[in-house]
Amino acid sequence: MNTNLKISNVTKIYPGCVANDNVSLEFNSGKIYALLGENGAGKSTLVKILSGVIIPDEGKIYLNENNLKLNSPSDAKKNDIGMVFQHFNLFETLSVFENLIIDSDEQRESLREKIDTIMKKYNFSIDLDIPVLNLSAGQKQKVEIIRCLIRSPKVLIMDEPTSVLTEQETSELFLSLKKFSEEGILIIYITHKLKEVMQLCDEVAVMRRGKLVSVSEIKNENIESLANKMVGQNLKIIKKKKAKTSSDQLIKITNLNFTSEDPFETNLMDINFSVNRGECLGIAGISGNGQSELFQVLSGEIISEKNSIEFNNNYIGDLSPQERRGYLMAFSPEDRLEQAAIPQMKIFENVALNNFKSSNFFNNGLINENKIKEHSKKIISDFNVNTDNIELKSQFLSGGNLQKLIIGRELITSPDLLICFNPTWGLDVGAINYIHETLIRINEQNKSIILISTDTDELLKLSDKISVIHKGKLSKIMNAEEVTSEKLGILMGGAN
Amino acid sequence: MIIDINFIGLIIASIMASAVPLILASCGELITERSGVLNLGVEGMMIIGAISGFALMTVTGSLIIAIFGAMLAGVLISTIFAFLTQTLITNHVATGLALTIFGIGISAMIGKNFVGIPGKEFPVLFEALKDTMPLLGPILFGHSIVFYFAFALPFITSYFLKKTKIGLIVRAVGDSPESASNQGINVRLVRYACILYGGAMSGLAGAYLSMIYTPQWIENMTGGRGWIALALVVFSTWNPIKILIGAMIFGGLTIIQFHMQAIGVRIPVQFLTALPYIVTIIVLVVISRDSRKIRLSTPSSLGKSFHKDN
């Protein structure tokens, strides 16, 4: 049977922000629809309205011409709309089966049979009697999907489903979604990843700042055209100019080793490399191969031998991050909210955090708030952070804005070396572009970068030299022009 | 010295009797905490139950009215807590502490007129069977209905949580109120119900003290049992059966140290009095060391307010 879902003139207004501005859309089963947009474009709000979690201020939803009243998640379920949330809605300490039976009216045995049938049909294999916290992210997502499938939904909504999945799990998910679609389930796929849209979907609706920008068929689009629609302007294609080869060595790592007591960490073995002024060294690798340990050793969170790190003719291996900053090094850690900033503190307070020594900010142990605020305002305007309220708690900044703030905070002291770890992780296209531009500009000012990243495209775009880390060992250092992403892929897998 | 086997039976029975209020209050609080609510007002709810039970018994003369009245009083005072923490989203810890202080104060005020009045005798069951068996006779028979209920309660609680759908919903709400709400479960309603149930059990525990265990009203007669009940819940890692074990050890040591003091053992009294607290906690910590099981039975959202926004 054909399913038709119609969203008609939906509006949802939050204080200070129009999340959905008069959005109308129509979907038909048999196709996979992408709902594309940057963070904060309003796509999550829209699907939360469809799943009854959020009640719209205005507008109507029709399923097969019937006007739906979606006042709660159970209303959506009753009307055969299933949704898999970006943040899983599972009970970690309950078993898989308990998670599934909790909102089902069926008897234990018949439900178990039903689940078994579903798992066989789609080739899922999950132990129903272990607690959910023992499952991988991909398995948890399958539990969420099974939970929807039990109710044989007409509509299945997936909100940013691949953000926590590995490559392998992602391709498994795509296969399942295509199968569901063939069986007549209408699929709405929310994402900001353009590649996925091209790979999976048939039609794409683009949202920007709460408004619907365009609806089109995938075959008429390509990655660039979608990116431009999503951001709302023609994205400059950034290219790095070939740097002048400088032989002025800035940092040199010699025979650096790190042995961890934690079995879940990676030991670093015999790391040797050097970076010249104005150069960007990229370090590629599949995550968990020692990147975070390497970052910590370089930043001074982990202290190593004094002579193993030579920076600007000083041996600094045994110095703390604060002392290293004194030598004009700067750091941008991977986890913005856990490591780089304190989410509950205000923007200007976070700005002061990496600058305890500055006599500008602190006088005799007292905080000089005016100076800090002045400085923060400069960062916000120089680095294009999209807010004018420096009293805002950092947790309310979007990922992109927070990353700009962090990089800005580090760069405003004009350091000689910036070490960054996955600086564009989880950001949308516009923000990624901005960060990339900033990094290129640093190099142009004859300052250096060590870029540890799991994103190969990013590394190829920004690096002058590239090395690959695998199981705590660095490969030999290659010139970026000689490297292709295939070659990197092979090295990342551990081959020589 | 000849030890009468029936005397041992009597000691064990008295240990069990002293464990009853702890079991009742702990099992009630366990359900509350399993839904993610930390109610530190157990002591206050118990003492309210104690005075309400005793006062109603004296005024109406009906034991049934008194027992159910005490439970109702527990429900009423916990409704205040539920309204504050669930509807007005106040902090659980501060509200619970306030509840205890309030309970102790108001019970002393009401209780003024009841000091020195003798209690009534509470009927016991199976009195006749007491002498039919040595040792087991005094342990098993001749107790009040509340006593039997208390010893069944941990098993009922365990069954409820593991096997029933409502128990599953309670655990789910305690694990992740956000997910539960997105699944269409009314988190506030579930938490209200669990808080009120905890109040009823605390009220019953208090009534047991003032009507059955020591049938009289003494100001502040709960004497910190509410806090012990709270500690039992945590140290048993939210496991009703371990609450039973912990309550028995605590009750046992309390009784035994009395006897030790009486026969004049040369150990400082202060140490003897402290002994039950120390040993109970040590034993519970030792038997609950499996970190995986702790993770699985600890309500993740314990003490955190949940606010649904649209």
Distance from CA of B246 to the nearest CA of A (A): 24
Write down the pLDDT at residue A398: 77
Write down the pLDDT at residue A433: 87
**Rounded-to-integer distance, Cα A151 and Cα A128, Å:** 18
Among residues A324, A390, A381, the alpha carbon closest in space to that of A357 is found at A324
Label residue A188 by pLDDT band (50, 70, 90).
Answer: very high
Q: Are residues A18 and A143 in the same domain?
A: yes
Torsional sign, CA B90, B95, B98, B99? positive
**Rounded-to-integer distance, Cα A101 and Cα A112, Å:** 9
**Rounded-to-integer distance, Cα A73 and Cα A386, Å:** 33
- Any domain includes A253: yes
């008897």: which residue's tokens?
A107
Average pLDDT of the residues of chain B: 91
Q: Flag whether residue A106 sits within 8 Å of chain B, measured between CB atoms.
A: no
Q: Are residues A131 and A28 in the same domain?
A: yes
- Any domain includes B306: no
Give A399-436 pLDDT, tens digit per residue: 788 888 888 888 888 889 999 998 988 787 778 888 99
Which residues share a beta bridge with A215? A205
DSSP H/E element including A196: helix A194-200
- Any domain includes B202: yes
Residue ending a domain, among A203, A231, A259, is: A231
- Any domain includes B262: yes
Measured between its terminal Cα atoms, the distance across chain A in Å is: 54
Give A89-140 pLDDT, tens digit per residue: 899 899 999 999 988 888 889 999 999 999 998 888 899 999 998 888 788 9
Average pLDDT of the residues of chain A: 87
- Any domain includes A70: yes
Distance from CA of A55 to the nearest CA of B (A): 7
Q: Are residues A254 and A222 in the same domain?
A: no
Q: Are residues A294 and A153 in the same domain?
A: no
Write down the pLDDT at residue B3: 66
Using DSSP bridges, classify how beta strands A66-68 and A58-63 pair: parallel, antiparallel or unpaired: antiparallel
Write down the pLDDT at residue A310: 92
Q: Are residues A226 and A269 in the same domain?
A: no
Among residues A381, A92, A315, A285, the alpha carbon closest in space to that of B177 is found at A92
Most B CBs within 10 Å: which of A79, A84, A86, A102, as the mutation test of the B interface? A102
- Any domain includes A239: no
| Contacts across the A-B interface (CB distance below 8 Å) | 56
Label residue A358 by pLDDT band (50, 70, 90).
Answer: low
């009245």: which residue's tokens?
B69
Domain holding B276: CATH number? 1.10.3470
Which residues share a beta bridge with A450? A281, A419
Distance from CA of A60 to the nearest CA of B (A): 17
> Phi, psi (5° rounding) for residue A12?
-140, 120
Write down the pLDDT at residue B288: 76
**Structure tokens, A356:** 């305890």
Taking residues B228-242, report their average pLDDT.
92
Query: Is the predicted pLDDT of residue A235 greater than 70, yes or no?
Result: no
Q: Are residues A264 and A387 in the same domain?
A: yes
Q: How many independent structural domains does chain B possess?
A: 1
Label residue A359 by pLDDT band (50, 70, 90).
Answer: low
Q: Are residues A222 and A265 in the same domain?
A: no
Measuring CA to CA, how many Å separate A475 from each of A31, A287, B274?
A: 45, 16, 64
CB contact under 8 A, A73 and B182: yes
> Phi, psi (5° rounding) for residue A21?
-115, 95
Q: Flag whether residue A94 sits within 8 Å of chain B, measured between CB atoms.
A: yes
Cβ-contact B28, B226 below 8 angstroms: no
C-alpha A109 chain-centroid distance = 40
Give B31-46 pLDDT, tens digit per residue: 999 999 999 999 999 9
Q: Are residues A263 and A373 in the same domain?
A: yes
B58-67, B140-149, B166-175, B283-292: lowest mean pLDDT where? Answer: B283-292
Query: Is the predicted pLDDT of residue B1 greater than 60, yes or no?
Result: no
Give A271-280 pLDDT, tens digit per residue: 999 999 989 9
CB contact under 8 A, A91 and B182: no
Write down the pLDDT at residue A431: 83
Q: Flag whether residue B164 sits within 8 Å of chain A, measured between CB atoms.
A: no
Label residue B47 by pLDDT band (50, 70, 90).
Answer: very high
Taking residues B261-289, report their average pLDDT.
83
Residue partners of A211: CB distance under 8 A and separation at least 6: A21, A22, A23, A42
- Any domain includes B31: yes
Max intra-chain CA distance, chain A: 75
Give B97-139 pLDDT, tens digit per residue: 999 999 999 999 999 999 989 888 888 888 888 888 878 888 8
Closest partner residue to A55 (CB to CB) among B185, B295, B310 is: B310
Query: Is the predicted pLDDT of residue A496 greater than 70, yes or no?
Result: no
CB contact under 8 A, A93 and B181: no
- Any domain includes A240: no
Write down the pLDDT at residue A137: 79
Q: Are residues A220 and A274 in the same domain?
A: no
**Residue numbers of the domain that contains A220:** 4-231
Q: How many independent structural domains does chain A possess?
A: 2
CB contact under 8 A, A54 and B310: yes
Residue ending a domain, among A231, A257, A286, is: A231
Label residue B160 by pLDDT band (50, 70, 90).
Answer: very high
Q: pLDDT > 70: what percent of chain B?
A: 98
Write down the pLDDT at residue A386: 79
Write down the pLDDT at residue B53: 96
Query: Is the predicted pLDDT of residue A170 greater than 90, yes or no?
Result: no
Q: Are residues A446 and A367 in the same domain?
A: yes
Q: Compute chain B's Rg from CA coordinates.
A: 20
Q: Are residues A20 and A157 in the same domain?
A: yes
Q: pLDDT > 90: what percent of chain B?
A: 65
Label residue A451 by pLDDT band (50, 70, 90).
Answer: very high
Closest partner residue to A85 (CB to CB) among B169, B182, B295 is: B182
Taking residues A231-250, report their average pLDDT.
72
Q: Are residues A333 and A438 in the same domain?
A: yes
Cβ-contact A433, A239 below 8 angstroms: no
C-alpha A457 chain-centroid distance = 15
Distance from CA of A325 to the nearest CA of B (A): 39
Domain holding A204: CATH number? 3.40.50.300
- Any domain includes A244: no
B-chain residues near A103 (CB < 8 A): 183-185
**Residue numbers of the domain that contains B145:** 5-297
Distance from CA of A483 to the nearest CA of B (A): 46
